[in-house]
Homo-oligomer: A and B are copies of this chain.
């Protein structure tokens, strides 16, 4: 009985996280629970301060429909985005908003000391509102690179080879710490707060320093045997091309369509030398907009390569929607028509007719929002804690809600669960 009731609470709270405000009728429709169960659960959540009433919708017949939302202060989390050039910290709340933030450049070619990460977390941790109800429940981190079977992080850009990040942070901060690979944190944000809410069958293409694909089938993520599904960046798009990839081969999608490679191609074509340091992909986009033929040629090539590769992916996966995110989202008016053309040309007609291609609305905060969402979902996945939220709050007022240290060492095994609808 308790387990079932806990699942109700989870479903309702997760739904409100996505929709921000909803009526009782919305909740009944979305969760498939009956009126009685929803009423009991909502009363429980109202009593414990997890949700609150925020007004009512006018109606021509019957009584007004009460509007409900999550209490933003029910719990706080710390979200960290370990980017290749910048690390970012945010204090986030129970509705996924970023309440305060701290950013810092990463020194290129140097190892990032863990102490910098701890320092950043402590900085935003001090900003918990004194008047707030909740305490900091956990830290969630979006990391680049990969995690080995011992849970240690390998990330070339940060100079880490086998760093036990989770253990180190947990000991220093006395908070549960969840880790997720950066390409997957983006997908998580898109799924819960972005365009991924619109579909159960969709692909999420993200470009930046690399190119990655997130895949959803029936609402569930496709992650693959060693959690490496979506490596579209290392598909060889042009076998005869000379573009050298980080992986050592030539003609990979990433060697053509990643941001550093867009800049490289433009600089090579323009024979600009000694200027590469501060030249950004945004500038290539801007020059293409202003009519620079060389910039346009690079964009054309990038759009065609991405489109052909997405056509292939669509044939394999039959999505309803493709969401474009990361740096290419900044040049969507240049790239989307090219991508659409190639998808229609190279995709199988029955699959690509009606296939929508949209641009992400989450901008550069996407990974912080993904980490915030991970922390939120891990928090509510603990049904007992959700049921007893007022108890936890009392017990740990002003400090962290502690969990046994051995529980949930890594977010990896749970990510499938938190992503599923």
Contact = CB atoms under 8 A, between A and B. Distances in A.
A319 interface: yes
Contacts of A168: none
Contact of A201 (B225, B236, B312, B349): B225
Interface string A296-321: 00000000000000011101111110
Given A348-B247, A349-B247, A224 B231 contact: no
A229 interface: yes
Given A201-B224, A220-B220, A224-B201, A316 B348 contact: no
Contacts of A311: 236
A220 B224 CA distance: 11
A53 interface: no
A228 B316 contact: no
A217 B231 contact: no
Contact of A231 (B215, B236, B319, B351): B351
A224 B318 contact: yes
A234 interface: yes
A350 interface: yes
B232 A315 contact: yes
A409 to B, nearest CB: 20
A2 interface: no
B350 A228 contact: yes
Nearest to A220: B220
Interface in A178-223: 199-201, 213, 215, 217-218, 220, 222-223
A215 B315 contact: no
A114 interface: no
Contacts of A217: 217, 220, 222-224, 229
Interface string A228-257: 111110111000000000010000000000
A226 interface: yes
Contacts of A231: 315-316, 318, 348, 350-351
A263 to B, nearest CB: 23
Quick one: copies of this chain in the complex?
2
**Which has the most chain B C-beta neighbours within 10 Å: A199, A201, A215, A225?**
A225
A232 B315 CA distance: 6
A227 interface: yes
B232 A318 contact: no
Interface in A135-179: none
Given A217-B217, A231-B351, A318 B225 contact: yes
A416 interface: yes
A318 B235 contact: no
Contact of A229 (B220, B224, B228, B317): B317
A319 B201 contact: no
A346 interface: yes
B229 A318 contact: yes
The 5 closest A-B pairs by CB, nearest first: A224-B318, A234-B348, A201-B225, A225-B320, A229-B318
Given A217-B217, A247-B349, 15 more contacts: A199-B225, A200-B225, A215-B317, A217-B220, A218-B223, A222-B222, A224-B319, A227-B318, A230-B316, A231-B315, A231-B318, A232-B315, A235-B315, A313-B316, A316-B317
24 contacts: A201-B225, A217-B222, A217-B223, A217-B224, A218-B223, A220-B220, A222-B222, A223-B318, A225-B318, A225-B319, A226-B351, A228-B350, A228-B351, A229-B316, A230-B316, A230-B318, A231-B316, A231-B350, A232-B316, A234-B351, A235-B312, A235-B316, A247-B348, A247-B349
Interface of A: 199-201, 213, 215, 217-218, 220, 222-232, 234-236, 247, 311-313, 315-320, 346, 348-351, 416
